[in-house]
Chain A
Amino acid sequence: MRIGLIAMSGVRVRTEELAEMGVTLPGFVNRGKVIASLPSLGLLTVAALTPPDVEVAYIEYDSVPEDDAELERFDLVGISSFTARIEATYALADRYRAMGVPVALGGLHVSLMPDEARQHADAIVVDGAEGAWPELVADFKAGRMKKRYQGLRKGVFAPGAYVMPRFDLLEGRPYNRVTVQTSRGCPINCEFCAASLRITSSFQQKPVERVIEELRAATAAFDSPFVELADDNTFVNKKWGKALLKEMAPLNLRWFTETDISVADDPELLDLMAKAGCKQILIGLESPSEGGLVGLDPHDWKARRFDKYLSAISRIQAAGISVNGTFVLGLDSHTSSVFAELLDFVRASNLLEVQLTVQTPFPGTPLYERLKRDGRLLAERYWDRCTLFDVNYVPARMSVEELEQGFVWLAAEVYSDREFNRRKRHYMDLAKARNGDGLRSVA
């Protein structure tokens, strides 16, 4: 028996003007390109959950033949996808099913929109593959595959459920970045978030020794790969984080992760992160004003920390860890003045990297439910426009056009050679300061 596991990748900006900007301002789409080029950790986990007597093939969507070409045959196909690529996923699933090849669909969008997804699948996997995929394969072999399999929402890293992803399937492929997951979920719970917290019932951490084993396995097949921790908020638990970092340091890695601004409050943690090879952290700063953050998460966790944003970014970057600050434009408190405010904030913060996004009501999120209830969604179904750059709703305090045009203006400013050069200069000066040069200003 042979199963084809197909990873969907690549997101294309739909708005023509923004697509053109992506060509001329590489920094604008840089992070998106990086994400699109990462291997699918979810499918590598699915492969590991597959019984050893079943052959699996890991395939990137980019290598799948076009519409009228013949598809590679399998006994069963599994596709993991996300909202912006779900229409292409359904089209591919329909092609396979037309050939008589059964299809199982999974991933975040499928978990959040199961009724929609099951129209294009013989089976769907909801939430984590752990606790679902082995049963699905066993049922398929026995000729009794069900329409829906419920994966675990907690305990995914517990013995019996946990498996190490099949990193060996990546050998010989041209990846220069590999991903390892250390945790699933995030306790902050922002209204717009469509990440792993939607498929977990609580924040879950992997035991340190498992993470180290995975890091060794994931990096073994590549020369000097850059590591991405595929987490939504790695350092929620500082004690666990420090234990992990002490074990990571001897591995001599360069790595990236996503976490929150609180890491700046712990000098020991920052020091350990730098020594363990952390080169960049992505932090969801979301808004250049405190007002924009109020109501974003149930406990106003981010709003209560806004007054420390600039000093925190400064401390993190001084420790040798660059900050990739992400912002969400079009929050309900944002007026058309937010674009100039954000440019001022970016300049004041000296963030090395900046990710600008448009608030996006991903289906299944509280934001989607609220905007749908209020009649503010621009279309019933707009999944291929969930690119983080396209506007899909009526903003509260500006028009759709103002948000679109303001976003384009701000992107042109933030990613201009002038601004990016200034941010790079600051980063280089910080490196000199750490090396004891002391000749240049790093204010």
Chain B
Amino acid sequence: MNRQKIEIEIRKALARITEEDVSRLKADENLAEVIGLDSLGRLELLSEVEDAFDLTIYDIDSEKASTIGGMLEIVEAALIENAEAV
């Protein structure tokens, strides 16, 4: 899966969690500051993303999940880990 598709899915998950229009958010914007996604919200987002990609995130770095770019890195790493685990 390419980065663009991953980012689209992350944005969809983020929109479901926050019920906000996240289409214009920049990848490096802090989600807590711009849409109030706190630490609990980030865990919910990680959970939603796991479902969206049908994968398990082993390293639950909720700090890194505070930007869309960070989420991208988490998902990419998890996709590799999950592929290796099969």
Instruction: Give A contacts to B, CB under 8 Å.
Output: 176, 223-226, 252, 254, 279-280, 322, 352, 421, 424-425, 427-429, 431-432, 435, 437
Contacts and interface: CB of A to CB of B under 8 A. Distances in A.
B51 A427 contact: no
Interface in B44-83: 44, 46-48, 50-51, 59-60, 62
A428 B60 contact: yes
B40 A428 contact: no
A172 to B, nearest CB: 15
B36 A176 contact: yes
A427 B32 CA distance: 19
A421 B59 contact: yes
Give the dominant DSSP class at B's interface. helix
Contacts of A427: 40, 43, 47
A424 B60 contact: yes
**Majority-rule SS of A interface residues:** mixed
Contacts of A176: 32-33, 36, 38
A429 B33 CA distance: 26
A224 B36 contact: yes
B35 A224 contact: yes
A280 B40 contact: yes
Nearest to A225: B36
Contacts of B48: 431
A432 B40 contact: no
Which of B19, B20, B33, B50 gathers the greatest number of chain A CB atoms within 10 Å? B50
A228 B48 CA distance: 25
A424 B36 contact: no
Contact of A424 (B18, B33, B34, B62): B62
Given A254-B41, A421-B59, A428 B36 contact: no
A354 B17 CA distance: 25
A17 to B, nearest CB: 24
B62 to A, nearest CB: 7
Given A421-B60, A428-B46, A226 B51 contact: no
Given A421-B60, A424-B60, A425-B60, A432 B51 contact: yes
A224 B37 CA distance: 8
Given A428-B50, A437-B51, A254 B38 contact: yes
Contacts of B19: 252
B44 A431 contact: yes
6 contacts: A176-B36, A223-B34, A280-B40, A428-B60, A431-B43, A435-B51
A428 B33 contact: no
A427 B38 CA distance: 15
A233 B34 CA distance: 31
Contacts of B50: 428, 432
Nearest to A423: B60
B38 to A, nearest CB: 5
A51 to B, nearest CB: 35
A266 to B, nearest CB: 22
A348 to B, nearest CB: 20
Given A176-B32, A176-B36, A432-B50, 11 more contacts: A223-B34, A223-B36, A224-B36, A226-B38, A254-B41, A421-B59, A424-B62, A427-B47, A428-B60, A431-B43, A437-B51
A274 to B, nearest CB: 12
Contacts of A437: 51
Given A254-B41, A421-B60, A431 B36 contact: no
Top 5 A-B pairs, shortest CB-CB distance? A224-B36, A428-B47, A431-B47, A424-B60, A279-B40
